[in-house]
Amino acid sequence: MSFYSDKVIIVTGGTDGIGRALVDRLMEQGAKVVTCGRNYDKLYQLQTMYAGKTLLAISADVSKESDCQKLVQQAINTFGTIHVLINNAGISMRALFSETSLETLHRLMDTNFWGAVYCAKYALPYITINKGTITGISSVAGYRGLPGRSGYSASKFALQGWMEAIRTELLDSGVNVMWVCPGFTKSNIRNAALNKDVEPQGESPLDENNLMSAKDCAQYILKAIEKRRRSLILTSQGKETILLNRFMPELADKMVHKFFFKKGVLVK
């Protein structure tokens, strides 16, 4: 029997990318899954695919506290408890700080940081009873500020700082708090990334087919939750960047600049 059989798992942002892969893997393993997103068509498609199975796909925008409260309440009304919360829903951005609107930065913080805080606040009492897990999908950008992604990096640094604090607060409670830093993973995130005017970019600057698959990423995440890990950093490029930044931060500035800029123009 799988570790996830009959466990109640909330995955925010389960209609695309890594979240969708998490939902699919969890459903294969007999979990009771509650997920959310903002796009009604994607939610409908997901719910239809798992009709008659233990999946609840809800329209909820995690940047709104009331939607997060509703998400948790619907999980309780349907399945009676919560074992694991995976705060996965997230958006990115591509725009220089000097040019970007403040609204783009607010959207990043509201979704990637506050969305995780709201969901954890309402789910924690149930997760505590089960000595379960709160997971946050962070990024290498939560260890190393990335150009063109100042709001994204800020939101992921905030996420990790907050998670480290509550992990420590909850040490004696039996609740495990874990953050995950995927490297570049094939998904919709770069298409949906906001530009300076708070609009989706509509294209990816990377060859998505050369990136880690969302399925592999989801498998690593689920294994780490099962093992009650503290953190998980995926891809060797991610590990090298974090190590370089820790021990040689000035060299890291130059190498990160070289990776993201060509002739002074942000190209990635």
Ligand X SMILES: NC(=O)c1ccc[n+]([C@@H]2O[C@H](COP(=O)([O-])OP(=O)(O)OC[C@H]3O[C@@H](n4cnc5c(N)ncnc54)[C@H](OP(=O)(O)O)[C@@H]3O)[C@@H](O)[C@H]2O)c1
Q: List residues near ligand X by CB under 6 A.
A: 12-19, 36-39, 42, 60-63, 88-91, 111, 137, 139, 182, 184-185, 187-189, 192
**Residue among 65 and 130 whose Cβ is closer to ligand X:** 65
Give the span between the Cα atoms of 113 and 108, in whole angstroms: 8
Among 4, 143, 152, 220, which one carries the catalytic annotation?
A: 152
**Residue among 37 and 132 whose Cβ is closer to ligand X:** 37
What are the backbone dihedrals phi and psi of residue 88, each rounded to the nearest 5 degrees, phi first?
-110, -30
Q: What is the largest CA-CA distance in the chain?
A: 56
Tokens of 20: 């969708």
Q: In the block, which residue shows the tokens 């389960």?
A: 14
Q: In the block, which residue shows the tokens 């009873």?
A: 129
- Minimum CB distance to ligand X, residue 243 (Å): 17
**Residue among 64 and 130 whose Cβ is closer to ligand X:** 64
**Residue among 12 and 100 whose Cβ is closer to ligand X:** 12
- Minimum CB distance to ligand X, residue 257 (Å): 20
- Minimum CB distance to ligand X, residue 65 (Å): 12
Q: In the block, which residue shows the tokens 């959207």?
A: 107
Give the span between the Cα atoms of 182 and 134, in whole angstroms: 17
220 catalytic, yes or no? no
- Minimum CB distance to ligand X, residue 174 (Å): 26
| Catalytic residue positions, numbered | 152
